[in-house]
Amino acid sequence: MTTNAPDMVMERLVEAVEVIAATGKGDGPKAVLAAWPDYRRKASRRRRSYSPREISRAEEAITWFSLVEDPEARRALQFEVMCKAGAGKFSRICDKYGWKRSTVTSRNKVVLKGLADRVAS
């Protein structure tokens, strides 16, 4: 990956959540996305078809979450990704869990850097 590898990993993860949510795969994040009130309003934007290549690319990226060994770090990253995919406001999630948003965002950047290194190798 390039010098902006953490940003590229974030983009791929957001894309993966959007694709999997739109394709309606029962084992994907669709159920989690549906828990947010804004999801139904944005569902019409998600209604599009994806090529098998795009779906495979999304399925590959979604497995990257399993590379994050710390469950709390993984959960924080998943929430941020899902919020960026349009399912809610990350600041509300941070408030709900008692997290300081700037701290969680900084930690997620470190996690993304680690993921970028692992995915690139």
Sign of CA dihedral 80, 84, 86, 89: positive
Which residue would you say has higher pLDDT here, 38 or 98?
A: 98
Confidence band of 109 (pLDDT split at 50, 70, 90):
very high
- Long-range (24+ apart) CB contacts under 8 A made by 37-46 are 37/88, 38/86, 38/87, 38/88, 38/89, 39/86, 39/87, 39/88, 42/86, 42/87, 45/86, 46/18, 46/21, 46/22, 46/86
Q: Give the tens place of pLDDT for each residue, 34-84.
A: 545 454 444 445 457 888 999 999 999 999 999 999 999 999 999 999 999
Looking at the chain, the whole-number percentage of residues with pLDDT higher than 90 is 58
Helix, strand, or coil here: 40?
helix
Which residue would you say has higher pLDDT here, 32 or 106?
A: 106
How do the domains of the chain map onto residue ranges?
A: 5-120
Residue 115: pLDDT over 70: yes
Confidence band of 104 (pLDDT split at 50, 70, 90):
very high
Q: Give the tens place of pLDDT for each residue, 27-37.
A: 444 455 554 54
